[in-house]
Structure 1
Amino acid sequence: MTTKECGNHGGGGGGGGTACRICGAIIGFIIIVLMTIFLVWIILQPKNPEFILQDTTVYAFNLSQPNLLTSKFQITIASRNRNSNIGIYYDHLHAYASYRNQQITLASDLPPTYQRHKEDSVWSPLLYGNQVPIAPFNAVALGDEQNSGVFTLTICVDGQVRWKVGTLTIGNYHLHVRCQAFINQADKAAGVHVGENTVKYTLINKCSVNF
């Protein structure tokens, strides 16, 4: 039986052994860096940002046949960085409205934002869709809700998030925010008229945040 040693191929010098030592040093350095990042991450205990849907202004919400929905909303959504030692970069954010898991408005881009420790950010995008085809089973449910004057939408925010620890920027995580918007048009006291056929509903609803 023969044994092959790293660096002894071809009978030539110690070039192979040097390469092995350099490779081992690089791997060791990478492991040390990763362990340092992991320990810092555990010590800091990062918290997800908190999102709150503050209000929704309804300009239009009309279902016509055959199953076409025209809608226009102005929303105000706030985010808070709950961390004391970690900053948050929000990249490529966009917001849209959905009804029973079906998107009903175009996606509206939100400006990229850096959020410092314990800092708040507020966005007020306009969400709209013109004669968007609605699945038949959703159209039936929506028609019933409109007749009752009460309907529930989901305001969605998707994008990328990076964390900043000191001078180090970590990760590129996909952010999913889902906020329930309960609109009660049947109760005249539930909203404030801010224009002709335009009603603003104050909600203050906490949103779910997932990565």
Structure 2
Amino acid sequence: MASPPRSTRRALCTFITIFLLLAGLAVLIVWLIYRPHKPQFTVLGAAIYDLNTTSPPFISTSMQFTLVTRNPNRRVSIMYDKLTAYVSYRNQAITSSLALPPLYHATKSTVTLSPVLGGAGVPVSVEATNRVGDG
């Protein structure tokens, strides 16, 4: 099977190069127009209502966190379809996972959430139970 003529290969390479340059230019223009920034999440406060470590290896707890989210973008809105929250201590979850409602973040907006996390006992290692109980 004969290889394609040299002019065909050159035309194909030129086409691919021009296509990649135009695609890169389009991405750059979109980025310059929108200038997207990451949303900011801050925990303003926390309250521990219940912390029970009397039946190792289970921890039952009830906590509430005040979480502030900020969208610094002027032209980009954000829609969170699925948000989940849980509390961990030394890389072990000490509350079960809680599904938060969908959240729409308009441009230049701030949203405050105050979920209550916890409930039934969650199995953890005995070391984590002892450390949490010691304070």
Class of the TM-score when normalised by the shorter of the 2 chains: 0.7 to 0.9
Superposition pairs for residues 34-73 of structure 1, below 5 Å?
A: 35-42=25-32, 44-73=34-63
Give the structure 1 partner of residue 78 of structure 2: 88
Superposition pairs for residues 1-211 of structure 1, below 5 Å?
A: 3-5=2-4, 28=19, 32-33=22-23, 35-42=25-32, 44-145=34-135
Q: 1:43 to 1:91 in 2, by over 3 A?
A: same
Q: TM-score, normalised by structure 2?
A: 0.76
> Could you tell me the percent identity over the aligned residues?
32
Return the offset for 1:96: 0.8
Where in structure 1 are there 5+ consecutive unaligned residues?
Answer: 7-16, 146-211
Contact 1:55 1:76 in 2 (8 A): yes
Superposed CA offset, 1:33-90 (max 9, x none): 4531233225543221111212223221111132321101222211000122222222
Q: What CA distance in whole angstroms lies between the structure 2 residues aligned with 1:105 and 1:31?
A: 50
Q: TM-score, normalised by structure 1?
A: 0.51
Contact 1:104 1:129 in 2 (8 A): no
After TM superposition, the runs of 4+ consecutive aligned structure 1 residues lying more than 6 A away are none
What SS does the corresponding residue of 2:101 show, helix, strand or coil? coil
Superposed CA offset, 1:132-174 (max 9, x none): 22212212221221xxxxxxxxxxxxxxxxxxxxxxxxxxxxx
Superposed CA offset, 1:85-119 (max 9, x none): 22222221111111111111111112222212211
> In proportion to residue count, which structure has more helix?
2
Q: CA RMSD in A?
A: 2.9
Where in structure 2 are there 5+ consecutive unaligned residues?
Answer: none
38-47 or 75-84, larger mean C-alpha shift: 38-47
> In proportion to residue count, which structure has more strand?
1
